[in-house]
Homo-oligomer: A and B are copies of this chain.
Amino acid sequence: MLKNDRFLKALLKQPVDKTPVWMMRQAGRYLPEYRETRKKAGGFMDLCMNKELACEVTMQPLERYELDAAILFSDILTIPDAMGLGLYFSTGEGPKFNKPIQNANDVERLAVPDPYDKLAYVMDAVSLIRQELNDRVPLIGFSGSPWTLATYMVEGGSTKEFGKVKGMMYDSPEIMHKLLDTLAKSVIQYLNAQIESGAQAVMVFDTWGGVLTPRDYKDFSLRYLQQIVDGINRTKDGEQIPVVLFSKGAGQWLDLMAETGCDALGVDWTVDLSQARKLVNDKVALQGNMDPCILYASDERVEAEVKNVLASYGKVGNGGHVFNLGHGIHQHIDPSRVKTFIDAVHDHSTQYHN
């Protein structure tokens, strides 16, 4: 039995004593011990692919902070890599693919990867982390969303303008839908395998859903998130497996996302939690949404902002709130500031629970 199940309960809108908290990229470059392990591993993907080291970095933030969840250390681009696109990381330029998707033929050739074959390294890491966690806190599994994966696969890496991927979407929507459908099927198998291997909640990162028009978001991102929500095994050994969707920049259409039947939505800092809560009307729990840049300020300012975010969600009642940053923690943040942040969430949140 889990020693700390606040996180899972809050996602399922069940009563908890304090607001649970974790951070996107909590195992990351702001921690000197992470940088040490990363050096040992070699490249970033070497770290992801070595289950012992992936487990080691997953556990590191839990040794420093009273976090209410662990998240698998991995990358959102594991699926396209397993599809044979050749993921590599170019210094200062982020992720790149050797063989980007350029046309209908490239899309036709893509097969749904067997998660226990080319992605076995992820499942091995999940199992090992679960063992190492020893039921201290739950483990979150995750995947990139079909649309977000497609942006990297078609652009061949990061982009500011999304010209190639949107060009394909606008000019050849049938090719784009075929690609997104293959990706949605892959994400379902991948997340179900993570659940089978021990993930106790899963999150889908739709980092680039917010660059679409509202119409195109519905057709090219939300539609495939719906497919994933419908395809995921929502229980394992009698326990519910909560599903969290996070589209960055989606403040205007959180209500549509809540209708997918997911358990919770990630929320970035560009929307007030009070406003977000009104939009979803407690149909789902919310996870967020402090601006990660607050952590550049003083301990006092961080504590004040934690109080602001808690107050913005308000009395939890029939809702559910998991505290998080609105985006991944930045690499230049002082680790001692993070302790202030995590402790402040627990210290100041009891008043919002019954």
Contacts and interface: CB of A to CB of B under 8 A. Distances in A.
B163 A291 contact: no
A170 B270 contact: no
B170 A301 contact: yes
Interface stretch (A37-45, A96-104, A112-120, A292-300): A292-300
Q: Is chain A's binding surface mostly helix, strand, loop or mixed? A: helix
Interface string A37-63: 000000000000000000000000000
Nearest to A326: B213
Given A161-B293, A214-B275, 10 more contacts: A161-B292, A163-B296, A166-B296, A170-B293, A170-B294, A171-B297, A171-B298, A211-B270, A213-B272, A216-B291
Contact of A252 (B164, B171, B252, B301): B252
A162 interface: yes
Nearest to A294: B170
Interface of A: 161-164, 166-167, 169-171, 210-216, 249, 251-252, 269-272, 275, 291-294, 296-298, 301, 305, 330, 332
Contacts of A170: 291, 293-294, 296-297, 301, 305
B171 A296 contact: yes
A301 B171 contact: yes
Contacts of A294: 170
A215 to B, nearest CB: 8
Given A249-B249, A252-B252, A271-B252, A167 B297 contact: yes
B162 A293 contact: yes
A214 B270 CA distance: 6
A214 B268 CA distance: 11
Contacts of A216: 291
Contacts of A293: 161-163, 166-167, 169-170
Copies in the complex: 2
B296 A167 contact: yes
A271 B216 CA distance: 11
Contacts of A296: 163-164, 166-167, 170-171
A270 B164 CA distance: 18
Given A296-B170, A301-B170, A163 B330 contact: yes
Contacts of A332: 163
Nearest to A308: B215
Nearest to A327: B161
A293 to B, nearest CB: 4
B163 A212 contact: no
21 contacts: A162-B293, A163-B296, A163-B332, A164-B296, A166-B291, A167-B296, A170-B291, A170-B294, A170-B297, A170-B301, A170-B305, A171-B296, A171-B298, A210-B270, A213-B272, A214-B270, A214-B271, A249-B249, A249-B270, A252-B270, A252-B271
Contact of A213 (B163, B269, B297): B269
Contacts of A163: 293, 296, 330, 332
Contacts of A169: 293
Nearest to A165: B293
A301 B169 CA distance: 11
